[in-house]
Amino acid sequence: SAVISQKPSRDICQRGTSLTIQCQVDSQVTMMFWYRQQPGQSLTLIATANQGSEATYESGFVIDKFPISRPNLTFSTLTVSNMSPEDSSIYLCSVRSGRNNEQFFGPGTRLTVL
Amino acid sequence: RKEVEQDPGPFNVPEGATVAFNCTYSNSASQSFFWYRQDCRKEPKLLMSVYSSGNEDGRFTAQLNRASQYISLLIRDSKLSDSATYLCVVIVGGYQKVTFGTGTKLQVIP
């Protein structure tokens, strides 16, 4: 299994500011995924980050709001830009590895926007 | 119809009971199936994969019914520590689209 760390683990931010979340994996992976989980709901995929190319965004998510960097095979960042209270959520980094392509998650970043 | 559906629960069961959850999926091209466990305020963690032939790991048994398009998770001899939300995950082959269910909440009561 992959070991994933995220920073920060939580933050409280003011409306209109931006926050960058970092994700570090202990092994090289081709794709890294960014999810959002709002209170009481399941996970929603924001985008897939590939090393050396633009991230692929899911419907409802755009690069201007959630810019992603993927400078190498073990690291990615997600920025939540121009935040509003609706962005309050847990943001999770994820990778796939293993024989059955199991998905592993970082511990998440709990974001509260005031 | 949602791509992946689960009964949100909560399922309140006494210690030692046997409990089962189902998860239905709508895409017949789905190829890979998993159960994840998510504790409150924590990230989801892989519980087990679901194989065509079924999968058993200690007190946990997962099964796949392709004809009816559902997977199940059976927990025997429930422990207090089993209290969590159980997420069903379905992957559609080819473009490897991953869909998470909304989860079933289990509360094991002393």
Query: Are the beta carbons of A26 and A13 closer than 8 angstroms?
Result: no
pLDDT single digits (tens) A91-113: 999 998 877 778 899 999 999 99
Burial annotation B72-81 (CB, 10 A radius, 16+ → b, else e): bbebeebeee
The beta-carbon neighbor of B102 closest among A41, A92, A110 is A41
The SS3 of residue B98 is strand
Contacts of B32 in chain A (CB under 8 A): 100-101
pLDDT single digits (tens) B41-93: 899 999 999 988 889 999 999 999 999 999 999 999 999 999 999 999 998 87
For B43, nearest residue in chain A (alpha carbons): A107
Query: Are the beta carbons of A6 and A35 closer than 8 angstroms?
Result: no
